């Protein structure tokens, strides 16, 4: 952990379609774990981009005829984490790293004034596992992140991460959320931090703009420009 009074900016990265695409390995592990815990055949996922696992899982259980998900959640998340860990070696081949990601994370990691972490709807084990599959965890302090098994409400994940990071590093001048969905933007705005949107997911730039993002980027491919934006030097 770096110290302390140098650190001024906290960058919270969304995972899926912001940093990486997991190539369906996560969804497959989710379905396998679902059947292992409930005995019910998995019939597939609805559009879940930007939701949190704690928000989505009761809805998916209900869709499969299980009205009360709560008693299953702990066992389910444990099984999901284990199944994903067993399959995560497939992620680099079946998924992909998005343009500029490695270079942007490395450049920000080299700066003493920036801490980077994850704020993702994935449960912690899966969110961290997805970025670790590409070796990106070396650039992140994942301990101070916000995850889909912390809370169902995404804005709460932003607040939780900020609290964790401020305990570790002290107060920040600026906190930024980078994500690919309207839900990432809404979570940032709800928590009172800067929303940076990337149009590398299923949401067009115009929609991210309309949602109130402070900045909208086509992707992270303009490494110098993205680093300048995220460090306030643009």
Binding site for Mg ion (CB under 5 A): 14, 16-18, 180
Rank residues 113 and 137 by Cβ distance to Mg ion and give the closer one: 137
Give the orientation angle of helix 53-63 with respect to helix 25-38, to 10 degrees.
Answer: 60
Sign of CA dihedral 179, 183, 186, 188: negative
DSSP letters of 71-130?
Answer: HHHHHHHHHHHHHHHHHGGGHHHHSEEPTTHHHHHHHHHT-TTEEEEEB-SS-HHHHHHH
**Among 202, 201, 194, 192, which Cα is nearest to 229's?**
194
Rank residues 16 and 150 by Cβ distance to Mg ion and give the closer one: 16
- For Mg ion, which residue has the nearest CB? 16
What is the closest distance, in whole angstroms, from the C-beta atom of residue 15 to Mg ion in the complex?
6
What is the closest distance, in whole angstroms, from the C-beta atom of residue 149 to Mg ion in the complex?
16
Rank residues 17 and 188 by Cβ distance to Mg ion and give the closer one: 17
Rank residues 31 and 201 by Cβ distance to Mg ion and give the closer one: 201
């Amino acid at each position: 952990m770096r110290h302390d009074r140098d650190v001024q900016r906290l960058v919270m990265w969304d995972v899926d379609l912001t940093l990486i695409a997991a190539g369906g390995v996560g969804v497959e592990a989710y379905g396998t774990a679902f059947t292992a815990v409930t005995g019910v055949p998995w019939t597939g996922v609805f559009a879940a981009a930007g939701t949190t696992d704690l928000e989505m899982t009761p809805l998916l259980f209900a869709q499969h005829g299980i009205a009360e998900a709560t008693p299953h959640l702990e066992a389910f998340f444990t099984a999901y984490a284990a199944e994903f860990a067993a399959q995560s070696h497939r992620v680099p081949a079946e998924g992909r790293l998005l343009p500029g990601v490695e270079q942007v994370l490395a450049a920000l990691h080299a700066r003493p004034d920036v801490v980077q972490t994850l704020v993702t709807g994935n449960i912690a084990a899966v969110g961290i596992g997805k970025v670790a599959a590409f070796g990106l965890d070396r650039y992140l302090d994942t301990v101070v992140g916000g995850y889909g098994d912390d809370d169902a409400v995404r804005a709460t994940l932003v607040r939780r991460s900020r609290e964790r990071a401020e305990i570790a590093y002290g107060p920040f001048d600026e906190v930024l959320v980078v994500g690919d969905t309207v839900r990432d933007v809404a979570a940032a705005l709800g928590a009172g931090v800067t929303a940076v949107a990337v149009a590398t997911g299923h949401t067009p730039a115009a929609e991210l703009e309309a949602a109130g993002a402070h900045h909208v980027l086509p992707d992270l491919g303009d490494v110098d420009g993205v680093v300048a934006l995220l460090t306030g030097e643009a």
